[in-house]
Structure 1
Amino acid sequence: MSLRGRTLVAATVVLAGLGTGQAHAQQHAGPSPTTRQQVYAQAAQTYHVPENLLLAVSYLESRWDANQGRPSTSGGFGPMHLVDGTLVPSAEHLAGGQEDPRGDTARPALHPTAPAAAGATRTAQTLQEAARITGDSPNVLRTDPAANIRGGAALLARYQRDLGRSLSADPAAWYAATVRYGGGDWFAGQVYDVIRTGASRTTDDGQRVALAADPAVRTQAKAANDPETECPKDLGCEWIPAPYQLLDPNDQTNYGNHDLGDRPKSQKIDYIVIHDTEGYYPNDVQMVQDPTYLGWNYTVRSADGHVAQHLKAKDVGWQAGNWYINSKSIGIEHEGFLAQGGTWFTEAMYRSSSELVRYLARRFQIPLDRAHIIGHDNVPGTTPSGVSGMHEDPGPYWDWAHYFDLLHRPLHATAGKNSGEVMILPDYDKNVVPYTGCDSKNPSALCPPHGGGSIMLRTAPSDDAPLVKDIGKHPTTGGTATMSVYDHSARAATGQKYAVADRQGDWTAIWYLGQKAWFHNPAQQRTAVGVRGLVAVAKPGATSVPVYGRAYPEPEAYPAGVPVQTITPMQYTFAAGQAYAVVGSERGEYYYAKNFDRSGSTVVRGKLKYYEIQFGHRVYFVKADDVDLKPVG
């Protein structure tokens, strides 16, 4: 029998529903493909799936990467993101931690416990389903990219037949099967966008893959938003409201799980905070609906990028651990884990999240830069005692460079290599940092090697030099930083801007947390680029400059009945002779909210001016009266 004949028999037997691997030998008969591109072509031929459809689905799930056989943040493996439903998540990241997510020192600290009913829910088991169809073991599907691609093709064909559709050569005829594979209309619409525009790239394991553009492909794809949501057209957002509820009828101050507001009329929205949930989507949306827990604005599902909105933009979520940032930000949670359970986020999630952020940035005039589109790990502590408990998500594996490409604001140099200010911009795939802490049972073990968006900072221009210190993050050890994936205290992240302190050979030093911090920046593989900007320096005669975690008004700005909020200096200062990149400016502002019925609620605005600076891994604030600004670059 010819190769074509054997292929047709194998496909017919498997797709007829045996699903037991009886045709496994015939299915893989013939010469083995030698490139990833050939693997896609053979899998498409074997299962009678249009090759461009298979490539586009895989691109939207993984960008064709293999990720060393490691699971995604939502438990999906390989180029086709086959989900292993047996993985168990770690605890949700806002539950049981040191951080007060509300971050308002005018009210008692809030340390909520996650709802008991929220268990380790997993629904999808596409990896196990693909194993039954192809005969490949789950372990092979996790670790062998070729087997994984075949498994994805087999699933698509199975879904097409389950829908009573023929195995057409026309990719447009596979719309419903694509919806089932990805989980929604928005996912399918993005697949067909990729087919129309085409794509090409070199994968994380060095494979060159290309999808030729086919502008003629058309579908009726439309993902309608729930009318209650505030989302870009056709994103398919769902409204799952967070409850605003009085918890004690005798106490107007005891309510949850957010504060009502009137933004942007009452306050300008300046920030969008990117989180990961450290939990799975079904549990996350269950928790946000608990009045005794926490409210945030949006949650994005990993496998298909589905978006649920929980709070209107006008209202204030208890999500970032800093009341000043909370009252001026929108919080977006992303299904997944900083380290445990995986080290990569899906392309579907990146795409839907970036589309949502672009919409919100346009609507509220939020600058699309890393000073205003920030991670939870970039939010400053409010008082010295609270710094060590602030959170670290989404962590070093979030691909900020790719995210900003999708935001249509690619990060790039704006000045020469000898500029007085630099922006951190390593090559994500090549920037493999030896983190520890991914294995909770053996926290000192090295994490699996994976690209990342952060670089390590040292006290001298040498790989052997100690890491710089962070006295706020590590107050009991004199500031000693570690290589833990959860410890950002000696790291700078993609898109962040810093004033240059020194250069020596292939090394560059920046001013960071009041000290000179060195990183490797060789000409053949730069980890930072020159940019233009303003830096803040101490005014003449001053020996040091205090920094602050919130930009609150001067005492005389507060009306009667509103308690004056202390302008608390942090444990950090910077000395005369140092400089810090200025990334924004603010007037002192405080949203006073205390009672469920909103009686007495008001926004206090002052005359005191602050500059937002990139001080360490987190942003902080300095008073304009304490510094002078100088242009660099």
Structure 2
Amino acid sequence: MSRPVPRTVAVAAALALLTGLATPAHADTTSQRQRDFAAAADEFGVPQNVLLGVSYLESRWDFNGGTPSTSAGYGPMHLTDVRAAGVATSHHDEGTEDPRGDDARPALHPQAGPVAPPSGLQTVDEAAQLAGTDAATLRTDAKQNIRGGAALLAKYHRDLGAQDWYGAVARYSGSAGTAAAQSFADEVFDTLRTGVARTTDDGQQVSLSPAADLPVPAHAGNPADVECPRTVACESVPAPYQELPGNDYGNHDLADRPDSQKIDHIVIHDTEGYWDNVLKMAQDPTYVSWHYTIRSADGLIAQHVPAKDVAWHAGNWYVNAKSIGIEHEGFAAKGTWYTEAMYRSSAKLVGYLSRKYGIPLDRAHIIGHDNVPGTTPATIPGMHWDPGPYWDWSHYFDLLGAPLGGFGLPGSSLVTIDPDFAKNQPAFTGCDGPGTACVPRGSEAVILHSEPSESAPLLVDIGLHPKGTASTMAVDDVGSRVATGQRYAVAGVSGDWTAIWYLGQKGWFHNPRAARVAKPAIGWVVTPKPGIASVPVFGRAYPEPAAYPAAVPVQAITPLPYTLLAGQKYSSGGTVGSEYYYATTFDVADHVVVKGKLKYVQIQFGHRIAFVKADDVRILPAF
């Protein structure tokens, strides 16, 4: 986790960093990366703090095991090489999930076709030439990677002939547009002003001292037709609301949120494709839709659908009608990592939206696509699981100003999952093909067992595995996995193991005192009312039949294939009203928001959220 450097750091140290002359005081193995930055800065004539700031906005100084980022970048300096990173899959084309998720309309299974990587993501070749080495070395050797990045920055500075380094930093972003390049440079210079220090994913201690009074040019701002904070670069790339042959239409629904329906969730996705291709999909009227896409290299945000309208992104119509969907350029499993530039832009956007629409900043309301429930038993196996186990929820919520974990008293009956991201490295398989071992790397996921033992089988998710077989360590199998920030009721403790209630059963995870992966929490839990042996669990909070007007087909309230038994407890995400947005025609005059008297409680039931009828449960405080 990053921490600010105290403002009292000596002025001399800050000046030394500005001139690129400072070196760490202790030559130990954990400060080697700091020395590598100092040496590269000196060799190529780049201010050391500028080099550190650019690298932090790209990778937070991590090496990421030599694996590529979501935009084909390698190493601390994010040198890009699409030849090595390979071709991506395409968005929403895998699995059986219907992105719209509405039984009243035929399921959508669009195909976008093959996705090729953009030709512009190839800085490693020029860096190798400037640094006197080869591309493979720059991808796999952190020290040489830093040299390559420094060489590029120095060349950009020479090419511009500028007095300061702002323009060179902006160019390093790789952005074709001025606004995005400036936004990236602004983030770098903000980091230079505040300073930062952290331990990298491979145990290196790196720090950047604060430097005040750094110049930042004035900018024109974002277009008037985008809903974005002023501190990030945004553009409008509208998704088409268009009538199609056969009484069909696409690729979203017009609405009047939040006046017509409250927006309760923000859903975090990854694109499973590269920026240029994904934006073409968003503009295809026969494809599906989401509200925003965020670019990996520089954090540029494109808005496609106004927040008032309903996009087709989450595979659950109730969630779609009550959420905003944000896609992040990247991949859930292909050994990739998300850049700091994208994390920061995303956090600023989510913070802005949460304030505008009153969405709580917690993991019950800021959810991944992998946390969206199936609508019926038949849809559960096909639900998507992005942004995947390598999305750093803890760091993301730090950027949101809403840090996770650590707010309860010892012995609390409720815990927040919060492992050390870098050190927590589950042995997943399938990142580069079925059954193949994934490259060990930091993860937000904690694995559950049926007994307090590493050798015990994983839990059974009867929805994902209808034949009753145990879950697996396949990277796409979320049936026995909890995620950072999620809250669960404690079901037992045995030595260094903690059990939680999960899909109607006890799930055990290793939680030793010296390396806790779950922290005590404060909140509310739900449990069946006295006399009720089993409570049905639902994937959507639909109204009772009597609430529907004559012209609107009644939607079935279908329970999921799980049981919430007497004595079990689950974390509450709050009480919600029952709603159904009837929108199956191009003409919005036929659209109706149905609101019922039935109340539901959102719960953290397994890896995904779920809903139970409020009349079936008690809501109790957990301390």
TM-score bracket for this pair, using the shorter chain length: over 0.9
What's 1:263 paired with? 257
Instruction: Tell me, in whole angstroms, the C-alpha distance in 2 between the residues paired with 1:45 and 1:56.
Output: 15
Deviation at 1:224, TM superposition (A): 2.0
Instruction: Tell me, in whole angstroms, the C-alpha distance in 2 between the residues paired with 1:202 and 1:620.
Output: 37
Deviation at 1:96, TM superposition (A): 4.3
Q: Aligned to 1:180, which of 159, 164, 171?
A: 171
Asked whether the equivalents of residues 96 and 112 of structure 1 are also in contact (C-alpha less than 8 Å), the reply is: no
What's 1:385 paired with? 378
What's 1:25 paired with? none
SS at match of 1:517: strand
Instruction: Tell me, in whole angstroms, the C-alpha distance in 1 between the residues paired with 2:110 and 2:432.
Output: 26
- State yes or no: 1:284 paired with 2:278: yes
Asked whether the equivalents of residues 96 and 111 of structure 1 are also in contact (C-alpha less than 8 Å), the reply is: no
SS at match of 2:600: strand
How big is each residue's C-alpha offset from its partner over 1:537-584, in whole Å with a ceiling of 9 and x where there is no partner?
Answer: 111111111000000111111112011111111111111111111112
Residue type of the alignment partner of 1:423: T
What's 1:516 paired with? 506
Residue type of the alignment partner of 1:632: A
- State yes or no: 1:161 paired with 2:158: yes
SS at match of 1:180: helix
Residue type of the alignment partner of 1:534: W
Count of residues in correspondence between the two structures: 589
- State yes or no: 1:587 paired with 2:581: no
What's 2:312 paired with? 318
What's 1:411 paired with? 404
What's 2:565 paired with? 575
The more displaced of 415-424 and 310-319 is 415-424
What's 1:629 paired with? 619
What's 2:299 paired with? 305
Instruction: Tell me, in whole angstroms, the C-alpha distance in 2 between the residues paired with 1:394 and 1:96.
Output: 14
- State yes or no: 1:464 paired with 2:455: yes
Instruction: Tell me, in whole angstroms, the C-alpha distance in 1 between the residues paired with 2:469 and 2:503.
Output: 11
Q: Within 5 Å, which residues of 2 pair with 1:136-151?
A: 136-151=133-148
Instruction: Tell me, in whole angstroms, the C-alpha distance in 2 between the residues paired with 1:180 and 1:32.
Output: 34
Asked whether the equivalents of residues 71 and 121 of structure 2 are also in contact (C-alpha less than 8 Å), the reply is: no
What's 2:594 paired with? 604
Q: Aligned to 1:542, which of 532, 538, 545?
A: 532
Q: Aligned to 2:365, which of 363, 366, 372?
A: 372
The more displaced of 206-215 and 318-327 is 206-215
Instruction: Tell me, in whole angstroms, the C-alpha distance in 1 between the residues paired with 2:141 and 2:186.
Output: 28
Residue type of the alignment partner of 2:484: T
Asked whether the equivalents of residues 89 and 280 of structure 1 are also in contact (C-alpha less than 8 Å), the reply is: no
Deviation at 1:629, TM superposition (A): 1.5
What's 2:19 paired with? none
Instruction: Tell me, in whole angstroms, the C-alpha distance in 1 between the residues paired with 2:219 and 2:347.
Output: 18
Deviation at 1:473, TM superposition (A): 0.8
How big is each residue's C-alpha offset from its partner over 1:474-508, in whole Å with a ceiling of 9 and x where there is no partner?
Answer: 11x31421101111111000000001100010000
Instruction: Tell me, in whole angstroms, the C-alpha distance in 1 between the residues paired with 2:95 and 2:66.
Output: 31
Deviation at 1:234, TM superposition (A): 3.3
Instruction: Tell me, in whole angstroms, the C-alpha distance in 2 between the residues paired with 1:495 and 1:176.
Output: 38
Residue type of the alignment partner of 1:572: Y
What's 1:45 paired with? 42
Instruction: Tell me, in whole angstroms, the C-alpha distance in 1 between the residues paired with 2:413 and 2:526.
Output: 12
Asked whether the equivalents of residues 170 and 184 of structure 2 are also in contact (C-alpha less than 8 Å), the reply is: yes
Structure 1: which 5+ residue stretches go unaligned? 1-30
Q: Within 5 Å, which residues of 2 pair with 1:444-459?
A: 444-459=435-450
Instruction: Tell me, in whole angstroms, the C-alpha distance in 2 between the residues paired with 1:174 and 1:226.
Output: 27
Q: Within 5 Å, which residues of 2 pair with 1:188-587?
A: 188-222=185-219, 224-248=221-245, 251-252=246-247, 254-340=248-334, 342-440=335-433, 443-475=434-466, 477-587=467-577
Instruction: Tell me, in whole angstroms, the C-alpha distance in 1 between the residues paired with 2:461 and 2:429.
Output: 18
Instruction: Tell me, in whole angstroms, the C-alpha distance in 1 between the residues paired with 2:254 and 2:527.
Output: 39
TM-score, normalised to structure 2, is 0.93
Asked whether the equivalents of residues 457 and 467 of structure 1 are also in contact (C-alpha less than 8 Å), the reply is: yes
- State yes or no: 1:112 paired with 2:103: no
Deviation at 1:204, TM superposition (A): 1.1
CA root-mean-square deviation: 1.5
Residue type of the alignment partner of 1:557: A
Deviation at 1:134, TM superposition (A): 1.3
Deviation at 1:223, TM superposition (A): 6.4
Deviation at 1:115, TM superposition (A): 5.0
Deviation at 1:206, TM superposition (A): 1.2
Asked whether the equivalents of residues 82 and 117 of structure 2 are also in contact (C-alpha less than 8 Å), the reply is: no
| Percent identical residues | 59
TM-score, normalised to structure 1, is 0.91
Structure 2: which 5+ residue stretches go unaligned? 1-26, 176-180
Asked whether the equivalents of residues 91 and 278 of structure 2 are also in contact (C-alpha less than 8 Å), the reply is: no
What's 1:76 paired with? 73
Deviation at 1:599, TM superposition (A): 2.8
Instruction: Tell me, in whole angstroms, the C-alpha distance in 1 between the residues paired with 2:252 and 2:593.
Output: 16
Instruction: Tell me, in whole angstroms, the C-alpha distance in 1 between the residues paired with 2:207 and 2:571.
Output: 40
Asked whether the equivalents of residues 115 and 293 of structure 1 are also in contact (C-alpha less than 8 Å), the reply is: no
Residue type of the alignment partner of 2:32: T
Residue type of the alignment partner of 1:244: Y
Deviation at 1:228, TM superposition (A): 1.2
SS at match of 2:266: strand
Deviation at 1:93, TM superposition (A): 3.5
Asked whether the equivalents of residues 186 and 222 of structure 1 are also in contact (C-alpha less than 8 Å), the reply is: no
What's 2:89 paired with? 91
The more displaced of 618-627 and 211-220 is 211-220
Instruction: Tell me, in whole angstroms, the C-alpha distance in 2 between the residues paired with 1:32 and 1:360.
Output: 45
SS at match of 1:569: coil
Deviation at 1:35, TM superposition (A): 1.4
How big is each residue's C-alpha offset from its partner over 1:293-322, in whole Å with a ceiling of 9 and x where there is no partner?
Answer: 011100001011111110100111100000
SS at match of 1:284: helix
Residue type of the alignment partner of 1:387: I
SS at match of 1:548: coil
Deviation at 1:119, TM superposition (A): 3.5
Instruction: Tell me, in whole angstroms, the C-alpha distance in 1 between the residues paired with 2:167 and 2:420.
Output: 37
Residue type of the alignment partner of 1:242: A
How big is each residue's C-alpha offset from its partner over 1:325-367, in whole Å with a ceiling of 9 and x where there is no partner?
Answer: 0001000000011111x33111001000000000000000000
Instruction: Tell me, in whole angstroms, the C-alpha distance in 2 between the residues paired with 1:303 and 1:584.
Output: 37
Asked whether the equivalents of residues 539 and 610 of structure 2 are also in contact (C-alpha less than 8 Å), the reply is: yes
Asked whether the equivalents of residues 88 and 274 of structure 2 are also in contact (C-alpha less than 8 Å), the reply is: no
